Amino acid sequence: MSDGIWSALSGAVGQLTALDIAANNVANVSTPGYRADHLVFREVLGKATAAKGRPSPGMNYSSVGNVLADQSQGTVVQTGRPLDTAIRGNGYFVISTPRGERYTRMGSFEVARDGTLTTREGAPLIGVDLRRIKLPQGATDVRIGADGTVQVAGQPSGQLLTVSFPGKSPLEKEGAVLFRRAQGAAAPVPTPAILEPGALEQSNMSAVTGMMDIVGASRSFDACQRVIDAFRDADRRAAMNIAAKV
């Protein structure tokens, strides 16, 4: 069997992964705070490395490298809801989960029965004092200011913590809108962010781009499949020729 079929097979597997990622991006086009995922391929040498660190000639294979989140700004849309807050530019809200601190751009918040300010999923938000933001039980007229100050009936009751991360791609995706710090990455730095109350940042993936990615991955997979079929036909003909000469 020709080595080329394995190269084509590795490409087909990679395109299936790309197709899954593109489909997930399209499914989250309407999810506020969503960051589109992009697949990074890497080339793997099929032969051992020769002396002095130089790769020896041989078949190259593609494999899935990393899945990176696009950190570009999504469109900010006015909602008029007092507990909706969008971040413009860099920065993340900090939330507390059973797995530790997590970071998000999703700024649609709720007030729990015990007065804790939480995400839609019920995860408590962390304030600048590094504690959960707790409001008086039964609090009404709760609003968030442009500096992250949480006010109850016009009185300050806490301030949202926003952080940034030094370095490139230090965050790993967890679910649709949460991020965790990558292993070995630098600690987050408290950074005042530009907030827009009464608004939400939308997904930075457009439906058109997502569908184009799906079509591109599908066509690339089909091309790899045709190459695999061509190698199989060549192997079959070679086997028949050998058998005819015996």
Cα distance between residue 122 and residue 29, in whole Å? 22
Give strand ranges (E) for the chain. Answer: 37-45, 60-69, 76-78, 85-88, 92-97, 100-104, 109-111, 117-119, 142-144, 149-152, 155-159, 162-164, 171-174, 178-181, 189-190, 194-197, 199-201
Q: Are residues 3 and 46 in contact, defined by beta-carbon separation less than 8 angstroms?
A: yes
CA distances, 157 to each of 68, 117, 133, 150, 161 (Å): 37, 11, 8, 6, 13
Q: Are residues 41 and 15 in contact, defined by beta-carbon separation less than 8 angstroms?
A: no
Residue with tokens 């570009």: 72
% of the chain exceeding 70 in pLDDT: 82
Structure tokens at 28: 């989250």
Q: Are residues 95 and 125 in contact, defined by beta-carbon separation less than 8 angstroms?
A: yes
Q: CA 39 from chain center: how many Å? A: 10
pLDDT at 99 over 90: yes
Give strand ranges (E) for 56-132. Answer: 60-69, 76-78, 85-88, 92-97, 100-104, 109-111, 117-119
Cα distance between residue 116 and residue 112, in whole Å? 5
The mean pLDDT value for 89-104 works out to 95
**CA-closest candidate to residue 160, choices 123, 219, 117:** 117
Helix axes 207-245, 4-27, angle to 10 degrees: 160
The mean pLDDT value for 92-102 works out to 96
Instruction: Give buried/exposed letters for 15-39 (b at 16+ CB in 10 A, else e).
Output: bbebbebbeebbebbeebbbbbbbb
% of the chain exceeding 90 in pLDDT: 54
The mean pLDDT value for 1-25 works out to 77
pTM score, whole prediction: 0.77
The mean pLDDT value for 122-147 works out to 93
pLDDT at 239 over 90: no
pLDDT for res 222 = 78
pLDDT for res 208 = 93
**Cross-strand partners of 9:** none
Average confidence score pLDDT of the chain: 85
- 195-237 per-position pLDDT tens digit: 999 999 999 999 999 899 889 888 877 787 777 777 777 767 7
pLDDT for res 190 = 95
- 37-87 per-position pLDDT tens digit: 988 766 544 444 444 455 545 555 556 667 889 989 999 999 999 999 999
